[in-house]
Amino acid sequence: MSDRMKEPGSKFKRLMRESDGEWEWFSRCDQPHYEITGKYLFFSADRDLLVNIATAELRSGAFHEAKIPMAGHNLSPEYVLCLYYQDDSLKHELAAKYRAVPGLKYRYWKGDDATLDGQYSSEFVQGLPRALRGEFRRPKR
């Protein structure tokens, strides 16, 4: 385990939770010392599981921000956890940590450029209602 992924129980116990009506945002009170350039993606039908992962990872000290759709605002049967970070350097550690968790799919890293360019996995797009699929295929910039 790298020194960036500290065990839960570290000094980062206080988290902020806010909602914009569509997403629930989780953040630490301190500002990141890095530029956020993308996110690690986790999928599950169990929203509470994703909330637990988000809060545990933020409290670990490595991450500063995450979001999950509010209950009832998931676009497919699964919810997505976006765990924001500076790069993909923790992808293997997160894979090892979460690979055996039942009901959880870990999709590794997605850079902000890929999101802005409308790049989504075919599995994600096929899980959307047909009327929304085109919206996720269009670039956002």
> Sign of the C-alpha dihedral, residues 119, 101, 66, 74?
positive
The SS3 call for residue 29 is coil
Alpha-carbon gap, residue 35 to 85, rounded angstroms: 8
Contact 26, 58 (CB under 8 A): yes
pLDDT at 48: 97
Task: Pick the more confident residue, 1 or 135.
Answer: 135
Of 86, 108, 101, the closest CA to residue 56 belongs to: 101
DSSP classification of residue 3: T
User: 96 to each of 44, 61, 107, 141, how far by Cα in Å?
Assistant: 17, 18, 12, 34
* Helix residue ranges, H only, the chain: 47-60, 91-98, 112-116, 122-126, 130-133
Average pLDDT of span 58-72? 95
Alpha-carbon gap, residue 109 to 36, rounded angstroms: 12
Q: What percent of the chain has pLDDT over 90?
A: 61
pLDDT at 75: 86
Write down the pTM of the prediction.
Answer: 0.82
Average pLDDT of span 107-130? 79
Residue linked to tokens 């909602």: 19
- Does the structure show a pLDDT above 50 at 6? no
pLDDT at 52: 97
pLDDT at 9: 47
45-49, 125-129, 133-137 — which one is most confidently predicted on average? 45-49
DSSP classification of residue 107: E
Q: Which residues contact 22 (CB under 8 A, 6 or more apart)?
A: 69, 70, 73
pLDDT at 64: 95
- Does the structure show a pLDDT above 60 at 66? yes
